[in-house]
Amino acid sequence: MDFELTPELAELQRTVRRLAQDKVAPRAREIDRTGEYPQDLFEVFRDAGLLGLCIPEAYGGSGAGILGLTIAIEEVAKHSNTAALMLLLTRLPTGPVMIAGSEEQKQRYLPGIAAGTSRAAFGLSEPQAGSDVAGMRTRAVPDPDRSGGWILTGTKCWMSGVREADWYTVFAKTGDPASRAHDAITAFIVERSWPGVSVGRTDRKMGVRGVDTGELLLDEVRVPPENVIGEVGGFRLAMLGLNAMRPIVAARGIGLAEGALMYATRYVKERPAFGRTIADFQGIQWEIAKCAVEIEAARLLTYRAAWLADQGKFTKEWVPFLSMAKYHATELAVRASGLAVQLLGAAGYMEDHPTEQWYRDARQLTIVEGTSQVQLGLIARGVLAGDLWWD
């Protein structure tokens, strides 16, 4: 058992840490304030080769895998969860393509993501079907004019990067619209330029501003047969893709917690109170210590989950381990950001300090790609089924 990163991953960590300190940190507050897409950071990530970390070398990526992307996102998220989300979007929509896509699909859509010449987004949620994915209403009916083709109609919502994307991974019902069976749902690659594809309302978010979240409108969009991902009725693909994403989302939580705690620790070491500094009080020290323990525990869970996912271990029996990482790290982000605000007192509540931004950004993480409650359900199901057991 070796807990050391490989030389390649350690160098990646050092490189991204410097880049995040030099390029991301100075921009984080402005991005949050204006809500404008940080194209400059996208170009920084592109030039540093970070957009293809999880994409195999055969398709223009570096092949660093989910663990490599996890490490990079952790460093970036210390300063900006918006920037971290930009890196996450190199894997979320491409995951189903890499897992079950045809060779033609991989050759056509993955190299552009790695090179930064195209962007993608992931369409699963709908207004009435967030955690209840089987309740989606987007329909795909056979195209009468093209054998094997489909016509998609519906609305996807809460899609991160919806305005910037050139193509989308979209899930729709190909079976009975009232059916809740998994084989009634199929994944498609939908290009932004196709007739009937448009972006609807964009959301006004509490945090993680700068990468638009909003609606994708599909009005009788004709999808050719070669853009079906995997098999018709392959809803399991959505779950496999999301399972593999758990450590990547967890990395956003770890990085946020680290950034918040480090900032607050520096503050209490310098802030005088009652003839001492705030850091001299034992009660403050204990809170810092407890948070530090949780960060290290979250990192171990997350790195293990990323290691499992890179081995293809994101099927049912491995779900509890992946969900634990996402649950613990994202809930930790909420606690750590709350602690940071508290340690700074009134100052932490003001926009003079980034603690209030971390506090707002953290809430998103416990909701996206499976809420904390969904993760707890998956973990419990794993224990009850014996997938997670200790003898």
What are the tens digits of pLDDT across the range 190-212?
A: 999 999 999 999 999 999 999 99
Segment 335-342 shows an average pLDDT of: 98
- pLDDT at residue number 129: 73
List helix spans (H) across 210-351.
Answer: 236-270, 282-310, 319-344
Task: Find tokens 């990079």 and name the residue.
Answer: 72
Q: Which of 266, 307, 278, 300 is nearest to 64 (CA)?
A: 307
Among 42-46, 58-62, 242-246, which is the least confidently predicted range?
242-246
For residue 7, what pLDDT is reported?
A: 96
- Residue 369 falls in the annotated catalytic set: yes
Lowest mean pLDDT among 135-144, 285-294, 327-336: 135-144
In the DSSP assignment, the letter for residue 126 is: B
Q: Cα separation of 55 and 111, whole Å?
A: 8
Helix or strand run (H / E) with residue 198? strand 197-202
The answer on pLDDT for 130 being more than 80 is: no
Taking alpha carbons only, the member of 56, 94, 70 closest to residue 247 is 70
Average pLDDT value for residue range 77-90: 98
Residue 178: predicted pLDDT: 78
- Average pLDDT of span 22-38: 97
Question: Among 258, 294, 356, 369, which one carries the catalytic annotation?
Answer: 369
Residue 131, pLDDT above cutoff 80: no
pLDDT in tens, 273-310: 899 999 999 999 999 999 999 999 999 999 999 999 99
Give residues with Cβ within 8 angstroms of 382, minimum separation 6: 317, 319, 320, 323, 388
d(CA 171, CA 156): 9
Instruction: Go through 217-252 and write b for each residue having 16 or more CB atoms within 10 A of its CB, e for each that does not.
Output: bbeebebeeebbbbebbbbbbbbbbbbbbbbbbbbb
Which pLDDT value is given to residue 215? 96
Pairing mode, strands 167-173 and 120-123: parallel
Q: Does 181 score more than 90 pLDDT?
A: no
Q: How confident is the model at residue 247 (pLDDT cuts 50, 70, 90)?
A: very high
